[in-house]
């Protein structure tokens, strides 16, 4: 059995391909929303954060032969726990991570090494700032930006009760909260920027399936400055940015049966054909 750290749309597609290749698997996710997505695709799922010790226990109780980490590029703790657990349990660890989109040389884009640096840069620029990095690090930005002259912080996040409570505790006004479940089209991002009169957008270097980050593209088209927070620098070891590489590595490690189509770089995802 293969354990797949999932939660994103491309992770779900990778899990389906792993199953299609003949492997049994278990996906692990953090939220009930992500679990529902896996269940709708017919994938077995376990919900909850896993420590390194939890991964070791999972390997032993579920007879896990390999861990495929397809978690979000910013799920740093999850990846480190999975690597540590795989190492202790003596099973292969394989990382899948979507490719980065390169905007480093764009005149409207400023790269930040971390959240604190992004907050400091935003404090220097001021204006109407839309934060699209989620609620987990909201306090870093709220503490630095709220109360600054000529500065409005608009926070976009998932429509969850705990997120709304966090906004209230931090002093973010209701009128400056965008509580919506994505994905967001370029048109919707553009409409939100125009509605709030956004002059600065803050996002993460997450990458995007299909090579387009709609919120970033919409901002740049409107001439809105953007601060992009760089991905955490993690030494994953075995890492791929394509599904075929992961499947071939599983085959190499476990000598499993990758089907003829996958071995030739062509496979089916949700009824569509893809390849290298």
Average pLDDT over residues 90-110: 85
Q: What is the pTM of this model?
A: 0.78
Average pLDDT over residues 133-148: 94
pLDDT of residue 102: 66
Give the Cα separation of 35 and 25 in Å (integer): 14
Q: What angle do CA 102, 107, 113 make, to 5 degrees?
A: 55
Concatenating the DSSP letter of every residue in 110-150 gives EEESSHHHHHHHHHHH-EEEEE-S-STTHHHHHHHHTT-TT
pLDDT of residue 231: 86
CA quadruple 144, 234, 47, 163: dihedral, nearest 10: 10
Q: What is the pLDDT of residues 5-23, one digit of tens each?
A: 997 888 999 999 999 999 9
Average pLDDT over residues 229-258: 86
Place of tokens 């017919």: 42
pLDDT of residue 2: 96
Single out the residue of 230, 203, 204 nearest to residue 130, CA to CA.
203
pLDDT of residue 262: 38
Average pLDDT over residues 26-43: 91
Residue 258, pLDDT above cutoff 50:
no
Average pLDDT over residues 75-83: 93
């Amino acid at each position: 059995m293969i354990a797949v750290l999932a939660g994103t749309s491309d992770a779900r597609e990778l899990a389906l391909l792993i199953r299609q290749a003949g492997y049994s698997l278990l996906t692990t996710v953090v939220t009930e929303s992500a679990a529902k997505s896996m269940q709708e695709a017919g994938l077995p799922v376990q919900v909850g954060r896993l420590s390194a010790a939890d991964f070791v226990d999972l390997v032993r109780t579920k007879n896990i032969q390999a861990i495929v980490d397809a978690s979000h590029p910013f799920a740093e703790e999850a990846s480190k726990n999975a690597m540590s657990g795989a190492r202790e349990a003596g099973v292969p660890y394989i990382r899948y991570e979507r490719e980065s989109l390169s905007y480093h040389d764009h005149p409207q884009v400023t790269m930040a090494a971390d959240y604190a640096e992004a907050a400091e840069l935003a404090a220097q620029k001021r204006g109407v700032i839309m934060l699209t990095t989620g609620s987990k690090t909201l306090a870093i930005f709220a503490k630095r930006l709220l109360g600054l002259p000529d500065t409005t912080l608009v926070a976009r996040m998932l429509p969850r009760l705990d997120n709304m409570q966090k906004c209230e505790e931090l002093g973010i006004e209701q009128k400056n909260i965008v509580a919506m479940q994505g994905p967001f089209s370029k048109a919707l991002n553009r409409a939100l920027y125009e509605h709030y009169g956004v002059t600065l957008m803050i996002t993460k270097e997450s990458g995007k399936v299909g090579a387009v980050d709609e919120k970033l593209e919409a901002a740049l088209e409107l001439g809105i400055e953007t601060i992009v927070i760089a991905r955490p620098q993690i030494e994953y070891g075995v890492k791929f940015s394509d599904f075929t590489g992961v499947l071939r590595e599983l085959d190499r490690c476990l000598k499993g049966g990758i089907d003829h189509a996958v071995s030739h770089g062509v496979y089916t995802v949700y009824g569509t054909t893809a390849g290298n």
